[in-house]
Amino acid sequence: MRPSCISSSNLEGRPPLPKALLVTLAILLAVEFGLARQDWFWNGYGNMAGNAVRLRIDAINEATPGPAIVVMGSSRIRDAVLPEALEARLRLPAGSVYNLAMGGGTPFAGLTIYRAARPKLRQARLLVYGLDDFDVSAGYGVDATDRRYATLAERLRDYDPPQRPSLVTGWFYRTADVQNLLQHFAARLGRPDPRMSFSLLPGRRVREQNDPPIDPRSDVSQMVGEFYRDWAPGFGRLRQLERLAYLARADGLTVMVVSVPLYGGYRRLANERCPEAEPQFRSCLQRLRDDGLPVYDWRDDEALGWPITAFHDSTHVGVDGVPLMTDLLVDAIARSCPALAGTEAAE
């Protein structure tokens, strides 16, 4: 009777796997375990935004003294808040305001930094987070910080449905998370990028705007196109901000959410092209207020009486706007965290 299973003689007679397939498998395994899962690869070939989190964590752990105020968010609040000015107005020790905001910074970046540097950051009295319009769009996508640091549970829970498939795939198959890094690696033929090796000094807490300012009216269409492309209502970043606020409040910090002033022409065009976005953003702010967070929406430059010269471009505060932003923050801190406010602020 013929055996029901395949005999060893049949196996021995099967042709060997093609060498090309074996080579491909070896390359895939080498990339997956030799590159994609290695910190040195992320550090050496990740983009500047992806490395900004690591650089800030290193700077926080080296910095003295501990912070009194921590600022987080994107480049909008990074450029708007000058720590030295805030320290002077609130009569705080030099170096006690940490501006940890970064280009493209998201609530998940802030959450990652806070968790990694919690022993130092929990010494603060106030966390100021700058929430932006693109933070509540599921279409704005994920970045290198999400792909490097998000856990599997966070990828399943804290992102919007359009973002989850690639993030979950990247958790199991890390090579999928490092596609951009691999392109950079190949373009440089494996040579480290010297731009990835700079250090963020603890005292350098706000970007110097070396690029010349432009007329805010000139880049409105470009900026709206960038931030509202593929817009869809999203709550993933809001959930991440709520998780960050929970940790900070558990450590005794007051958490204050602000939205930085924007050039009015940018907001008007955004409302024309995507009228559903503004109600979505307002509902997210209200959700934060309902959770007991002080929220200050300063996006309306006309209501504030800001001149056009206060802006670096249509979405960033310029040098002339920094003192105005300092005034707004000092007043808000006096109301929301009076223990930090000096005599001048309270008055």
> What pLDDT digit, counting tens, does each position of 284-329 carry?
999 999 999 999 999 999 999 999 999 999 999 999 999 999 999 9
Sheet with 295-297, side-by-side order of all strands? 97-99, 69-73, 126-130, 254-259, 295-297
Tell me whether residue 205 is in a domain: no
Number of domains in the chain: 1
> What pLDDT digit, counting tens, does each position of 27-66 carry?
778 777 877 788 877 877 666 556 788 888 888 887 777 8
Cβ-proximal residues to 260 (8 Å cutoff; 6+ apart), any chain? 73, 76, 77, 80, 130, 132, 298, 299, 317, 325
Q: What pLDDT is stored for residue 15 in this prediction?
A: 64
The CA-atom distances, in angstroms, between 254 and each of 124, 128, 211 are 9, 8, 34
Tell me whether residue 181 is in a domain: no
Tell me whether residue 94 is in a domain: yes
Is residue 198 predicted with pLDDT exceeding 80?
A: no
How far apart CA 170 and CA 182 sit, in angstroms, is 14
User: What pTM did the predictor assign?
Assistant: 0.86
How far apart CA 40 and CA 241 sit, in angstroms, is 29
Is residue 70 predicted with pLDDT exceeding 90?
A: yes
Band of residue 8 on the pLDDT scale cut at 50, 70, 90: very low
How far apart CA 132 and CA 151 sit, in angstroms, is 24
How far apart CA 128 and CA 108 sit, in angstroms, is 15
The CATH number of the domain holding residue 247 is 3.40.50.1110
Tell me whether residue 245 is in a domain: yes
The CA-atom distances, in angstroms, between 4 and each of 1, 7, 10, 261 are 9, 9, 13, 76
How far apart CA 76 and CA 47 sit, in angstroms, is 19
Tell me whether residue 16 is in a domain: no
> What pLDDT digit, counting tens, does each position of 138-180 carry?
988 888 899 999 999 999 999 999 899 999 999 998 988 888 7
- Domain span at residue 256 reads 48-145+214-346
